[in-house]
Amino acid sequence: MIKEILDAGFVLQQRDYLARRLQSEAEQLQAGNPESAEMAEKFEVEEEDLRAAAAMLADASATPDDKTCFIPGDQALSLLQASLNEAYMTSGLVQTEAISGLDAVGGKVAITDLRLPPEAVTKAVTDGFVAGSTSSDPRYVTQFLLARASRLFRRRPPFRDQPARATIANRARVILFGDWGSGVPRAVATARHIKRLLTEKPDYEGHAIHIGDIYFAGFGYEYKQRALPFWPGTDGHSWAIAGNHDMYTGGAGFLNDFLADPKFSAQQAKHWFVLENDNWQIFGLDSAYALPGATGQRGELAGTQAQQVHQIRTASPGKGGILLTHHQPFNVSAGAFEIHSPKMVDALQPVLHANLVRGWFWGHEHDAAVYKPWNNVAYPCLTGHAGVPEAFKQRSLDGQQRWRWSDHLATTDGDYFSMGFTVLDFDEGSCEVSFYNEDGVRQPFPDGRHVITKV
């Protein structure tokens, strides 16, 4: 990820400029402009794709906040970031070096080690392409990448309704990490410690599960650049579910580039999966495919996932049930509680009401917390803090929270929360939960060990 493309002001300025340029480019293509025709052929897009991308950008909205790292939930802005990032990365302009003000104390880079040279930033914030060099201008290329993204989304693959099913050992270490796919140095370091901890207990079978979001928008090259080179799991013991960012280009990259890798062979390129042993059933559910809007902020279960979960759980009520989703079932903020994904919660209510879910783990929010029992779920847990830099702020527990992530590091740009992940150690009928930071250091629970039992 490039520093400037994580800056809200830069991204929103490019939105306004490129929304106008895309309409003009569509007219140029319609008029038979040879350069436009050559680029359209190269990127396999048509006039309607350029116009669709222009309309999408014109409708894009986001309110810049005080975050140093701008990761909006808006589909069009995510596609814009992905397209700009790729266009600049392939332009040869990107510099890889320490950035003044972004170096963490001790040698860590707080956000990213990629940036644009000042002259490229200046050029990007002025109207008009450089005369005579449009095809080499990253913003000109960005237009066609955006048009291709629009085309991909409109042609997304159908939902694969049947899950991949696999048997895991009765003693298994399952490591969950969410919102990891940024490729920034601290996320890469986090993956190294996940890999180490997967083999730390040789008598436990190790499994790595990502619970959604490779940034910015699910292009195939993003999985190849920001996820697969650093993936910590092994062949046949690696699993993933999609998040909203994975679906912004329709999900083809998630299925055909990410899950097609041999590490995910056991998942068989299915949207969701069920892992089972003599004592537990773990459901990796897709909460992102069915989302109808342009933001994908609230989870919903596509196909017959909910019905199949109910069928599988009622057939084995003596086993403990664990749900994994990208989206959160509820939110707790400043003492206020809300059901965040009502359609998803309603669909799963039969298994919740029957007391067939012992733990529910999710991401989407770039944070970590353990909540008090809710809706017959003994252990509701947020673990979405594996890859997006978040500025540190002091905070106390909300009323529904049992524990909240507080580990942080000092940088010359201020303090940042550390990244991290969650370890589930299954031993017959019990499951111990622990959290580790990006340095592989286990975090303490003031209330003692956290153990989920199967019943």
Render pLDDT for 372-396 as a digit per residue (tens, 0 to 9).
Answer: 999 999 999 999 999 999 999 999 9
**pLDDT for res 110:** 87
Whose tokens are 């990761």? That residue is 71
- What's the pLDDT score for residue 101? 38
Contact 433, 421 (CB under 8 A): no
d(CA 432, CA 450): 6
Instruction: Answer yes or no: are the C-beta atoms of 385 and 367 closer than 8 Å.
Output: yes
Which has the higher per-residue pLDDT, 361 or 99?
361
> Where is pLDDT greater, at 336 or 436?
436
Residue 99 predicted with pLDDT over 70: no
> In whole numbers, what is the pLDDT of the chain averaged over residues?
91
- CA–centroid distance for 286 within its chain: 13
**How much is the pTM?**
0.95
Q: Count CA atoms within 13 Å of residue 311 on its CB side.
A: 8
- For residue 435, the model assigns a pLDDT of 98
Is the pLDDT assigned to residue 109 strictly greater than 90? no
Q: Are 104 and 416 in contact (CB under 8 A)?
A: yes
Instruction: Give the rounded distance of the alpha carbon of 299 from its chain centre.
Output: 13
pLDDT of residue 135: 65
What average pLDDT does this structure show over 104-127? 77
Question: In terms of Cα–Cα distance, which of 164, 158, 166 is closest to 268?
Answer: 164
Residue 411 CA to residue 329 CA, distance in Å, equals: 34
pLDDT of residue 126: 66
Spatial CA neighbour of 84 closest among 155, 179, 5:
5
Distance from C-alpha of 328 to C-alpha of 339, rounded to nearest angstrom: 9
* pLDDT confidence bin for 103, thresholds 50/70/90: very low
- Do you find a cis peptide bond into 216, omega within 30 degrees of 0? yes
Tell me which of 99 and 56 has the higher pLDDT.
56
Say whether pLDDT at 253 is over 70.
yes
Share of the chain above pLDDT 70, in %: 93
Q: CA 7: distance to chain centroid?
A: 19
User: Given this model, what pLDDT does residue 357 score?
Assistant: 98
- Domain at 164-453: CATH architecture: 4-Layer Sandwich (3.60)
CA distance 218 to 181: 10
Whole-number pLDDT of residue 27? 94
**What is the pLDDT, as a whole number, of residue 106?**
53
Domain boundaries, the chain: 3-154, 164-453
Average the pLDDT over 46-63 and give the result: 90
Compute the average pLDDT of residues 29-56.
93
For residue 143, give the amino acid letter: Q
Give residue 132's pLDDT band: very low, low, confident or very high (50, 70, 90). Answer: very low
296 or 248, which is more confident:
248
Q: Find the range with the poorest average confidence among 19-28, 286-295, 355-364.
A: 286-295
Q: Is the pLDDT of residue 446 over 60?
A: yes
**Tokens at residue 245, please?**
């960012």
Tell whether the model's pLDDT for residue 97 goes beyond 70: no
pLDDT of residue 333: 83
**Count of Cβ atoms closer than 10 Å to residue 286 Cβ:** 30
Cα separation, 380 vs 374, in Å, equals 7
Q: Are 333 and 291 in contact (CB under 8 A)?
A: no
pLDDT at 129 over 70: no
